[in-house]
């Protein structure tokens, strides 16, 4: 606690947590071997978390886990017993904790026309599931939130863009540049893996302690407004 300029006492514990915002916490990151999951695993480790990467890309996942002082477990999330094993590994490794769950939805759950019907439906379903589980688990102090990224040049998105545009040489920064020009209110600024990782870090940290059942959209404002009429704001 300290006094601010008006003489009021303010709680500085949140700011004090900032350099190592997940110190001592344990995180299981499904899909953590590459893309958004891998970027999140790195940011979590930098912030003091013990990270378990749970994925099906064994070589990639194991080498990333080693590089960040974490653990790797082969885990196909479509198999419940494998998810249970991943959680068990984390608990046995670093002990039992309360916690927070962060689900990956998408801008495609908010706005039509951004993905296939099946992908869109599954991402909408995740939003619903996060809200209902936030209700169920809130009584145990467990928070459940979603992230909804948009157009982040992971391996998945780059390979999709290569197919859409018929250019198998397309690079991640070119995808980011297309998104920045056509899919962002921040003209020219597309999303990066690290933008998503930082949003997940916030939701995993105690700084978001009163936030649950929330969908944090990381889309450069794209799903909030249409920029085609932005000429009306010019003098």
Ligand X SMILES: NC(=O)c1ccc[n+]([C@@H]2O[C@H](COP(=O)([O-])OP(=O)(O)OC[C@H]3O[C@@H](n4cnc5c(N)ncnc54)[C@H](O)[C@@H]3O)[C@@H](O)[C@H]2O)c1
Q: In whole angstroms, how far apart are CA 48 and each of 24, 191, 200, 224? A: 6, 25, 14, 34
Establish if 106 lies at the interface with ligand X (CB under 6 A): yes
Site size toward ligand X, by CB under 6 A: 24
**Cα 46 from Cα 51, distance rounded (Å):** 10
C-beta closer to ligand X: residue 21 or 34:
34
**Cα 47 from Cα 223, distance rounded (Å):** 30
Q: Which range touches ligand X (CB under 6 A), out of 74-82, 84-92, 127-135, 137-145?
A: 74-82
Establish if 62 lies at the interface with ligand X (CB under 6 A): no
Using CB under 6 A, pick the residue from 149, 180, 190, 220 that binds ligand X.
149
Cβ proximity of 86 and 53 under 8 Å:
no
Establish if 49 lies at the interface with ligand X (CB under 6 A): no
Site for ligand X in 152-191 (CB under 6 A): 152, 154-157
Cβ density class 108-135: b for 16+ within 10 Å, e for less: bbbbeebbeeeebeebeebbeebbebbe
Using CB under 6 A, pick the residue from 26, 43, 45, 55 that binds ligand X.
55
Using CB under 6 A, pick the residue from 31, 180, 183, 220 that binds ligand X.
31
DSSP state of 79: S
Using CB under 6 A, pick the residue from 70, 151, 190, 220 that binds ligand X.
151
- Owner of token pair 């992908």: 119
**Cα 201 from Cα 43, distance rounded (Å):** 7
C-beta closer to ligand X: residue 6 or 118:
118
Site for ligand X in 108-147 (CB under 6 A): none
Catalytic residue among 72, 119, 222, 233: 119
72 labelled catalytic: no
User: What does the block give as tokens for 197?
Assistant: 């990782």
Distance from chain centroid for Cα 117: 22
| Catalytic positions | 119
Give me the residues that bind ligand X (CB under 6 A), please. 30-31, 33-37, 55-57, 75-78, 104, 106, 149-152, 154-157
């Amino acid at each position: 606690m300290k006094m601010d300029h008006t003489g009021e006492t303010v709680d500085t514990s949140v700011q004090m947590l900032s350099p190592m915002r997940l110190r001592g916490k344990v995180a299981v990151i499904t899909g953590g071997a590459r893309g958004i999951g891998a970027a999140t695993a790195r940011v979590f480790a930098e912030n003091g978390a013990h990270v378990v990467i749970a994925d099906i890309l064994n070589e990639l996942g194991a080498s990333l886990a080693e590089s960040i002082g974490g653990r790797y477990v082969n885990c196909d999330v479509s198999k419940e017993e494998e998810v249970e094993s991943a959680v068990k590994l984390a608990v046995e490794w670093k002990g039992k904790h309360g916690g927070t769950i962060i689900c990956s939805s998408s801008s495609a759950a908010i706005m039509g026309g951004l993905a296939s019907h099946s992908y869109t439906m599954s991402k909408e379903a995740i939003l619903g599931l996060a809200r209902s589980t936030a209700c169920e688990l809130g009584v145990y102090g467990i928070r459940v939130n979603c992230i909804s990224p948009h157009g982040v040049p992971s391996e998945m998105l780059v390979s999709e863009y290569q197919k859409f545009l018929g250019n198998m040489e397309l690079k991640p920064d070119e995808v980011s540049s297309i998104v920045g020009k056509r899919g962002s209110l921040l003209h020219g600024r597309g999303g990066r893996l690290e933008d998503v990782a930082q949003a997940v870090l916030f939701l995993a940290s105690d700084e978001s302690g009163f936030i649950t059942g929330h969908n944090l959209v990381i889309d450069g404002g794209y799903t909030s407004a249409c920029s085609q009429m932005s000429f009306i704001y010019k003098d």
